[in-house]
Amino acid sequence: MADRDAPLQINLPPDAESMTKDEINTHIFFMGEALAMANLALNTNETPVGCVLVDPVLKKVVARGMNATNRSYNGTRHAEFIAIDELLSSSLRSDCGSADETREAKRKREENGSEADHGQGGGSEISGRGYGPENMKNLDLYVTIEPCIMCASLLQQFGIRKVWYGAVNDKFGGNGGVLNIHISNGKFDSNETAEDREGDIMEETGGGKRTQKQEGDYEVSGGWLREEAIVILRRFYVQENGRGG
């Protein structure tokens, strides 16, 4: 009988075929950081979705987030919102020239699930100082589950550079699962092919092709540590069903 807790074999997504081993290992590492946040959410009775914002040039985590809808009694406190709040809060603290947080600010961060000092992360540095809204276009998001439509729209408005996710969100996904918010703000649905989209663009432009991304468009790559992300979700649903019984 197979050991249920045995480590899963890593199945790489198609996007990995054109990458070097070092590039693949980098993406797996940061997705592992996002999974650590998802596990933390699971252990605090939140839907286990976790994410990290990463500076791809410095290869450094600059903010973390996990779902905090139960603790905050706020349905918008998804992992992506928490990570962006963490980033912007760090930027504001840096602008004020103070390295110390007030007790109230620290309490809010702990409630929202963005507290950095929770023993997760495998030693990667967490520092959002020096990063503001204008820097989002240079940052990548690693998240265990495809962002929902609400979060995908938030990322579009902030101009994130690229999103790397684990499992598809086939009910509420905003990056291909249901809508394609990352392309022309969701004008094209997830069933439309690239050729269909190009045809629509040519019709709009009188036959010309779009040569550059529209403002807010961002790249997406899915399937990174997909199985691991699904396993954490299954544990959550088993846990919740056990409580209901």
Domains of the chain: 8-92+131-187+216-236 (3.40.140.10)
Given a contact cutoff of 8 angstroms between Cβ atoms, the answer to whether 79 and 51 are in contact is: yes
Q: Residue 222 gets which letter from DSSP?
A: E
Angle 103-112/79-95 helices, nearest 10 degrees? Answer: 160
Please state the rounded mean pLDDT for residues 176-181: 96
* Predicted TM-score (pTM) of this structure: 0.76
**Three-class DSSP category at 196:** helix
pLDDT at 183 (0 to 100): 94
Least confident piece of the model among 114-123, 182-191, 195-204, 223-232: 114-123
- Strand ranges of the sheet holding 60-66, from the earlier edge strand across to the other edge: 60-66, 50-55, 140-145, 162-167, 219-222
pLDDT above 90 covers a percentage of the chain that reads 59
pLDDT in the model for residue 244: 59
Query: What pLDDT, on a 0 to 100 scale, did the predictor assign at position 216?
Result: 84
The band of 97, judged by pLDDT with boundaries at 50, 70 and 90, is: very low
Closest CA to 64 of 92, 40, 100, 98: 40
Q: Which residues are bridge partners to 163 per DSSP?
A: 141, 220
At residue 211, the pLDDT reads 40
pLDDT band (50, 70, 90) for residue 228: very high
The predicted structure's pLDDT at residue 143: 98
Strands 162-167, 219-222: pairing kind: parallel
* Model pLDDT, residue 102: 41
Question: Which residue bears the tokens 């995908």?
Answer: 152
